[in-house]
Structure 1
Amino acid sequence: MKWKSFYMVLIFASIILILSACNSDDESSEEENADGKTNMSVFIAENGEMDLETNSFTEFAEEEFDINFEFQKTGYDSSAAKEKRQISLASGDYADVFFLVDWVDNFAPSEILKYGEQGALLPLNDLIDEHAPNLKEVLEERDEFRKIATAPDGNIYSVPGLEECFHCTWPNKLWINSDWLDELGLDVPATHEELKEVLTAFKEQDPNGNGEQDEIPLSGSAASPNHSVIPILMNGFVYDDAQTRLLVNNGEVSFAANTDEWKEGLEYIHSLYEEGLIDPGAFTQNRDAFIQLGNNADDVILGAAAAQHAWEFIDNDNHPMFDAIEPLQGPNHQYATYNYPVTNSGTFAITNKASEEAQVKAIQLLDYMFTIDGMIRSHIGVEGEDWVEPEEGDVAINEEMEANVKLLFPEDPPNNNWSAAAQYFQPREFRDGQVQAEDIYTDEGFERRLQEATYLYEGKEPEETFPFWGVWYPQDVQDEYSTLETNILDNVEQSSVQFITGELSLEDDWDDYLSGLESLGIDRYIEINQQVYDSYMNQE
């Protein structure tokens, strides 16, 4: 009965949304207010350091584009923000424009297709052609970005940010306690066997010097795929993208987690676990517990960790002890997990509530954000308060690039930007040119530390990878695919952990595991992904 009631609510909400779309002309906001500016309601996230009503970029945009903003605000709590957005759309009482934060409340691709088909989100193609020359140029020059932004019907209903975060592109890294290596006279491990020798020494030779065997050689967490120990260890045996577990070879999509190489990788990881070299909490703990492990109040007890960056597992004064190491050379490969950091989860959208004038001004505002000057003003802030021009001797994060901007870190941040809600145009060449301190172990040099860590992983992915960040699943298979994806990937993750911990036997239970994947529809999972991969690759 509960499920039946739940689906009735969803059906009712969809009917309301469709009716509101049909009646949008009657319910659109008044085009202009008393001073001649265009009224525009905006759904947007506001962080704790912002006040959007008094924000200097709000004032700048209202003056520059003749807009009068009415904000529908959320915080940065993802669950609460998404719920508020979904309720507004379901009720029909939604804003003219959405400026969302990608990691807070973005539109999932399935939502973009649904709301686009229902008419709530407007196709932006003509508006971009006629009023957004900078965004149009980006779409024309960056094929990957255009594919990501364009729905299967050829329309762009929502625009993602072009945020080419270098260190996010290879997110699964292994960080090791360099102080412990020095203390024990050990070299940085380069292979799986060398890692095993180092972790054994960490466990047995008291590198923290407290006379107790309290060291935890290797840990991670279940909070994020980036914290999983499985990909960083599996990639020497078979490529693990940590997301879909799909492989691509000569354009043919297949599955990694039912191969002999995957089994071989599990055998190796099980051997580490069996000898007490992997923390059992790596497969169960949340991020807070992971950080508490790194921040241990007495002595440092952590030897190595799986994470995108060191602050994800240690945020006290001991973090300089840890350095990233290269992907391990395994018996088959030396792969690094690749993840293009731009996804087809949309953040900017215009709804059928917006007047024609508001539609034009909204796309012009977004177009301004797709320039370097506009990005700096909207996302970073004001020169002299939030950033300054580089001085002689300042060094860019990528030392081969010319320095372009030096960020300031005032104790009391000025209210000058829309922060992540305006993070639309940071191509890698811009990010690489930002000035950072040369001491990578300071707060001011942290981004350089991530850059240097990521150089170790750059280019070590397979020649072909499945572009899970950009493929679109047609609406007629979304429900089926969602079920397949959840069941299969949950089974792979749970079974892998059970094989690693010994709850399942690779010798006795592997065939049953394979049979289980067959019964869950692994062939159909591959078939659908082959179809969307082909569509993505053949998109003009």
Structure 2
Amino acid sequence: MRKNKIRKLVSISLAMLTVLSFTACGSSSKKTDTATLKDVSFPLKETATLKMLTSAPSISTQDPNERLIFQRLEKETNVHIDWTCYTDDQFPDKKNLALSKKDTLPDVVFNAGMNNNDLLRYSKQGVIIPVEDLITKYMPNLSKVLEEKPEYKKMITAPDGHIYSFPWIEELGSGKEAIQAVGDIPWINKKWLDELGLQVPKTTDELETVLKAFKDKHPEGKNDVIPMSFIINNGDQDPAILLGAFGFGDNADHYLVTNDKKVVYSTTQDGYKEGIKWLHKLQEEGLIDQEAFTQKWDTFVAKGKNDRYGMFFTWDRANVAANKEDYIPLPALAGPNGNVNVPRSNGYGFDLGRCVVTTADKNLELTAKWIDKLYEPLQSAQDNWGTYGDEKNQNVFELTENKTLKHLPLGAASPWEVRANQFVSGPLAVLDSYYGKYTTSPDDAQERLDILHKTYVKDMKADYNYPPVFMSQEDIEKLTQYETAVKAYTERKKAEWILNGGIDEEWDSYLKEMDNQGLSKILEIKQKYLDSYFAK
């Protein structure tokens, strides 16, 4: 009798579990059916949810739904985003971990930060999907951008013909006039020049004379003057632009393109050797900051804010100088043979792998149409810089009566800090054609564009720089392997030679070692893709 009761209870329990199991499956099935929306138009009649992974600056909120831009988007679309957000510094590791677990993938990685190798690798692993059909069927805003600027379609299309990501595009000038054309601007202390009765240098010899005057004559009675400072091999803080006085010059990644469309490596050119010898001479004369070869950004900035620099290198003088008005951009110098050249950087306002869709996303039409809203001109400008009407944070824009966005003056506030509290970044496009039509150009960006136009563009001899190209996985893996060794070696030698000299004696063995490390293979790969880019 007792056994029968037990059997009966077990049977009842199993039956209940079965019912519950079917109920759960039915609920899941129903959720999938209702989530897979067709003929989507905004706002949705019923709220839909997408899961997204993203990052945010550490100085701002870590809840994207607290940002006014996303609150407005949810109201306009009735799409709720279930965010997982990490600070920028944590994001790369957290993203890799999240994408390693296929059973818990987000629908979208919003600020994905993927290069072409990542995109090919994750697509091969079945983690992300190609999106070219989504663009064609559901994304008229992005399609319009790609039609107006077909070069971007080339940049986002993989060698296999697929598109695996949605890009970030920020145009501020183009070609030689692009805001990224020069990063490492040399800022010279005009206040000190005036105090000492000196003219702005026009040649390398004149600069040497000025730096000696800064050192010996103690402007403003200072005893801790640093005639010239930089951070060696640190992108915009490196003095590479000065080497243009001796030939091709140098830039952050050391790739230069000649006017006959050939790729050369800047640190193997004879002019580079002569430029390094000149910098070593300045070093021997005590004109270069002794910490320039070891210091980090914080130290570099601290000395600038203490008014110690006669000249320094960086993107924006306001980030380093105590008073930015004391400094002016130093024009391109003529070298010993009269050569004047401004080497162009390979910077672009373009990020290939800004946003990807994963294989977990079962609601592709909805996802594509939501992402496409981010490519609307007015929306893109806000995504990129910030918004208007925010009662909690300083506003980046005001919305004018004719429904255009006007940048507000930021006063003494840091542009980065103001924007970090509002912008959402992600996939977007701000084209040059938008300025004056949908939005104004940021004041700090316009100031920089004016400086480049007036001071540097006329002396840029190179008609081309190296564009973003989409390489095959095999080639990018080879390139990465060779580049790691070559770049580390050449930049170590650069620092050693400026500090200690010896470049003449070591030059031949150095060139041989560069080739042993794979430089010729690097240039072969880079040339292949440059040829293909121009052929298209």
Q: C-alpha distance in 1, partners of 2:110/2:528? A: 32
Q: C-alpha distance in 1, partners of 2:367/2:198? A: 58
Larger displacement relative to structure 2 (263-272 or 378-387): 378-387
| Paired position in structure 2 for 1:490 | 488
Matched residue of 1:168: which SS?
coil
Instruction: Pick closer, same or farther for the CA change 1:431–1:83 going to 2, 3 Å.
Output: farther
Matched residue of 1:481: which SS?
helix
Q: C-alpha distance in 1, partners of 2:399/2:49? A: 35
Q: C-alpha distance in 1, partners of 2:298/2:29? A: 46
Alignment of 1:151 onto 2:163:
no
Q: C-alpha distance in 2, partners of 1:459/1:511? A: 34
Deviation at 1:309, TM superposition (A): 1.0
Matched residue of 1:375: which SS?
helix
Alignment of 1:353 onto 2:360:
yes
Matched residue of 2:333: which SS?
coil
Deviation at 1:473, TM superposition (A): 2.7
Instruction: Pick closer, same or farther for the CA change 1:422–1:259 going to 2, 3 Å.
Output: closer
Deviation at 1:178, TM superposition (A): 0.9
Matched residue of 1:347: which SS?
strand
Alignment of 1:321 onto 2:320:
no
Q: 1:73 aligns with which of 85, 88, 97?
A: 85
Asked if the contact 2:240–2:249 (Cα under 8 Å) also holds between the matched residues in 1, the reply is: no
Q: 1:169 aligns with which of 176, 181, 184?
A: 181
| Paired position in structure 2 for 1:478 | 476
Match of 2:428, as an amino acid? Y
Match of 2:406, as an amino acid? V
| Paired position in structure 1 for 2:510 | 513
Alignment of 1:137 onto 2:144:
yes
Deviations 1:9-37 (CA, angstroms, capped at 9, x unpaired): xxxxxxxxxxxxxxxxx999846479833
Deviation at 1:311, TM superposition (A): 3.0
Q: C-alpha distance in 2, partners of 1:289/1:415? A: 25
Asked if the contact 1:30–1:39 (Cα under 8 Å) also holds between the matched residues in 2, the reply is: no
Instruction: Pick closer, same or farther for the CA change 1:285–1:431 going to 2, 3 Å.
Output: farther
Alignment of 1:281 onto 2:291:
yes
Deviation at 1:81, TM superposition (A): 0.7
| Paired position in structure 1 for 2:457 | 458
Matched residue of 2:292: which SS?
helix
Alignment of 1:421 onto 2:425:
yes
Q: How does 1:30-429 map to 2 (within 5 A)?
A: 30=32, 32=34, 36-47=46-57, 48-50=59-61, 51-77=63-89, 80-92=90-102, 93-100=104-111, 106-165=113-172, 166-210=178-222, 212=223, 214-222=224-232, 224-234=234-244, 236-296=246-306, 300-314=307-321, 316=322, 318-330=323-335, 331-355=338-362, 357=363, 359-379=364-384, 380-383=386-389, 386=395, 387-389=397-399, 405-407=406-408, 409=410, 419-422=423-426, 424-429=428-433
Instruction: Pick closer, same or farther for the CA change 1:343–1:389 going to 2, 3 Å.
Output: closer
Matched residue of 1:492: which SS?
helix
Asked if the contact 1:169–1:338 (Cα under 8 Å) also holds between the matched residues in 2, the reply is: yes
Larger displacement relative to structure 2 (263-272 or 419-428): 419-428
Deviation at 1:420, TM superposition (A): 3.9
| Paired position in structure 2 for 1:4 | none
Instruction: Pick closer, same or farther for the CA change 1:305–1:498 going to 2, 3 Å.
Output: same
Q: C-alpha distance in 1, partners of 2:327/2:371? A: 40
Q: C-alpha distance in 1, partners of 2:428/2:341? A: 33
Structure 1 residue ranges without an equivalent (≥5): 1-25, 393-402, 437-443
Q: C-alpha distance in 2, partners of 1:334/1:414? A: 36
Matched residue of 2:135: which SS?
helix
Matched residue of 1:145: which SS?
helix
TM-score normalized by structure 1?
A: 0.80
Deviations 1:416-448 (CA, angstroms, capped at 9, x unpaired): 986142462222344588668xxxxxxx95444
Deviation at 1:157, TM superposition (A): 0.7
Deviation at 1:228, TM superposition (A): 0.3
Q: C-alpha distance in 1, partners of 2:160/2:289? A: 48
Matched residue of 1:277: which SS?
coil
Q: C-alpha distance in 2, partners of 1:462/1:204? A: 36
Matched residue of 2:81: which SS?
strand
Structure 2 residue ranges without an equivalent (≥5): 1-27, 36-43, 173-177
Asked if the contact 1:238–1:261 (Cα under 8 Å) also holds between the matched residues in 2, the reply is: yes
Instruction: Pick closer, same or farther for the CA change 1:284–1:129 going to 2, 3 Å.
Output: same
Q: C-alpha distance in 2, partners of 1:186/1:448? A: 29
Matched residue of 1:156: which SS?
coil
Match of 2:429, as an amino acid? F
Asked if the contact 1:222–1:228 (Cα under 8 Å) also holds between the matched residues in 2, the reply is: yes
Q: 2:535 aligns with which of 518, 533, 538?
A: 538
Instruction: Pick closer, same or farther for the CA change 1:128–1:426 going to 2, 3 Å.
Output: same
Q: C-alpha distance in 2, partners of 1:27/1:527? A: 53
Instruction: Pick closer, same or farther for the CA change 1:179–1:229 going to 2, 3 Å.
Output: same
Matched residue of 1:220: which SS?
coil
Q: C-alpha distance in 1, partners of 2:483/2:276? A: 21
Asked if the contact 2:169–2:351 (Cα under 8 Å) also holds between the matched residues in 1, the reply is: no
Match of 1:381, as an amino acid? T
Alignment of 1:524 onto 2:524:
no
Match of 2:487, as an amino acid? L
Q: Which has the larger radius of gyration?
A: 2
Larger displacement relative to structure 2 (33-42 or 303-312): 33-42
Deviations 1:323-360 (CA, angstroms, capped at 9, x unpaired): 212222333332242334234541111111111x3x22
Deviations 1:442-470 (CA, angstroms, capped at 9, x unpaired): xx954443233222223643434442x51
Matched residue of 1:188: which SS?
coil
Larger displacement relative to structure 2 (481-490 or 256-265): 256-265
Asked if the contact 2:261–2:464 (Cα under 8 Å) also holds between the matched residues in 1, the reply is: no
Match of 1:185, as an amino acid? G
Matched residue of 2:369: which SS?
helix
Deviation at 1:308, TM superposition (A): 0.9
Alignment of 1:500 onto 2:510:
no
- The CA RMSD measured in Å over matched residues stands at 3.2
Instruction: Pick closer, same or farther for the CA change 1:62–1:228 going to 2, 3 Å.
Output: same
Asked if the contact 2:246–2:274 (Cα under 8 Å) also holds between the matched residues in 1, the reply is: no
Deviation at 1:256, TM superposition (A): 2.5
Q: C-alpha distance in 2, partners of 1:427/1:35? A: 33
Larger displacement relative to structure 2 (151-160 or 334-343): 334-343
Q: C-alpha distance in 2, partners of 1:156/1:122? A: 9
* Equivalent residue pairs, number: 480
